[in-house]
Structure 1
């Protein structure tokens, strides 16, 4: 649910107060949140992929076909999860620099709110 204009103003005031009071702490908090959570999930999926490789190789060496199949399925599942989480991560990691522009559509409530937010940020930063 999006924040109202009043709530956005209060949030901006709290952010400015935090930066003014303790800039080191505020900058440390910037790295946390959804981006860090997504990165952690991708690393976890990569670790699962490595475990899957180990199961696959172990199943082949021990001549247990079912262990190799399970290892392959773990690898496949972890690879799909990692790619999905990476593409959905904030900042558009998966989109790439040459992503096609989104088709133009009628500006909705969220688009107008996003434009207002950007204008406020630009005014605040002196751009």
Structure 2
């Protein structure tokens, strides 16, 4: 369900105030978006999966690869299989720009953030106004 215009404006104000008060925290919370995996990444993940499957089968088939009856090679193969699938289906994280920095808030958001008192005092004032009515 999309946000109303009023809710979107309030969310923009909160975001810009967060950037104004603590830009380091805001950029760390913002994180990045996951991109779709490329064909090369899928192929690499499939190859790692196949190698892991081969290790899993070899670990079960050959007694020489077991330590005290524990199939160590099979466990390594399973971990490789799991890692290959995860690598193949996820894309790399992308921050806001090409340089890896988080995007700066728009000029409109910066104007709102610089306007007068702090974010917390504005939020407190809004809270008081809601309950006084």
TM-score (norm 1): 0.37
More strand by share: 2
- Structure of higher CA gyration radius: 2
TM-score (norm 2): 0.36
More helix by share: 1
